[in-house]
A and B are shown apart, each in its own frame.
Chain A
C-alpha cells in the first residue's frame, strides 16, 4: 500500500522550517500561529503529561502551564533544538515537578521499565511448532493473509477504529510510545528525548505495542 508513505528527510526538514516560521510569527504576537501550534501539539502533550500526573484535569493544567512557559520563554529560545523538542522539554519539566508535588505518580521511566520487564511474546507460542518437532519454531498457525482482503476493507473506518481501540488498550508506556511514533509521526530520538528513556527501551516498548496492535487487527480481520 503506497498511499501512506513515511516522511522523507526533505519533508521532515520542511516541517522543521515551518515550525520555525510559526515561532517567528508567534514572537510577533500572531494568534493564528499560536492556535496552529496549540491544536497540533496539545493532544500529544496531554498524553505525555498524563503519564506523570494522577488525573486528566491535572494533565490539562500542566499543559496550560507549559504553553505559558513557552510564551514567557520565547525570546530565550535559541533554536539549537527543534521547536517541538524545546516545547516538550518544558512540558516534561512541568509534568515532573507537578508529579513530585502530587506524590501520586509513578515516573515514566519506572512505568517503562515495569513494562519492558514483563514476559512478552509478539505471537503466542502455541502458534509455532514446539521443541522436538521436525520444524520446531516455524509457524504452525501462520497469520491469515490480509492481501486477499479488499483494500477498501483494510483502509476502512472500522479497521482504523479497531487500531485506535487496540492502541488505547495498551499498557501506558507502550501506548504513549506508539502514539508518538506512529500516530504523531515522531522519530525515535525525539521520543527518547521527550520521555527520557533509552533507545533500547523505546524500541522494546514500540515492538510490544505494534505486535499487540497487529494481533488485535488479525482478530478484527478474522471477524
Chain B
C-alpha cells in the first residue's frame, strides 16, 4: 500500500463498525479503522457500546411456545411414533 490512505473520521467509523466486527473490511479500510480507533477514545467507547449491546441481547430468552402448540406437536409426535416401524 504505497498511496497515503485518507484518514477515517468518526462519522465513517460508526458506519463501518459492524463490518469490522464481522471481519469484512478490506485491508486498507481495516488499517484506516484501526488507526482511527487507536487515536479516538470516543469511537473506542462507541465500539464498546455496540459490543455490549450485542452481548446483552444474548442474555434475552426468546418467548416460550404456547402450551397448545406444544401439546399439538407432542400429539403429532405420538402419532408418528405409533405409525413408525419398530426399531431393529
Contacts and interface: CB of A to CB of B under 8 A. Distances in A.
A210 interface: yes
Contacts, number: 141
A42 interface: yes
A145 B46 CA distance: 9
A142 B20 CA distance: 20
Contacts of B18: 203, 206-207, 210-211
A137 interface: yes
B28 interface: no
Q: Which interface residue of A63, A122, A145, A160 has the most chain B CB atoms within 10 A?
A: A122
Contacts of B45: 142-143, 145-147
Interface in A23-47: 28-29, 31, 34-35, 38-39, 42-44, 46
A137 B11 contact: yes
Interface string A144-160: 01110000001100011
B56 A159 contact: yes
Nearest to B84: A29
Contacts of A122: 14-15, 17
Interface string B68-88: 011011101110110010010
A121 B46 CA distance: 14
Given A1-B55, A207-B19, A210-B54, A128 B10 contact: yes
- Secondary structure dominating the interface of A: helix
A29 B81 contact: yes
A160 B42 contact: no
Contact of B57 (A28, A182, A211): A182
Contact of A31 (B56, B64, B65, B77): B77
Contacts of B58: 4, 6, 182-183, 185
Interface of A: 1, 4, 6, 28-29, 31, 34-35, 38-39, 42-44, 46, 60, 63-64, 67-68, 71-72, 121-123, 125, 128, 136-139, 142-143, 145-147, 154-155, 159-160, 163-164, 167, 178-179, 182-185, 188, 199, 203, 206-207, 210-211, 213-214, 217-218
* 5 pairs of A and B residues whose beta carbons are closest in the complex: A137-B9, A207-B18, A182-B57, A43-B62, A142-B42
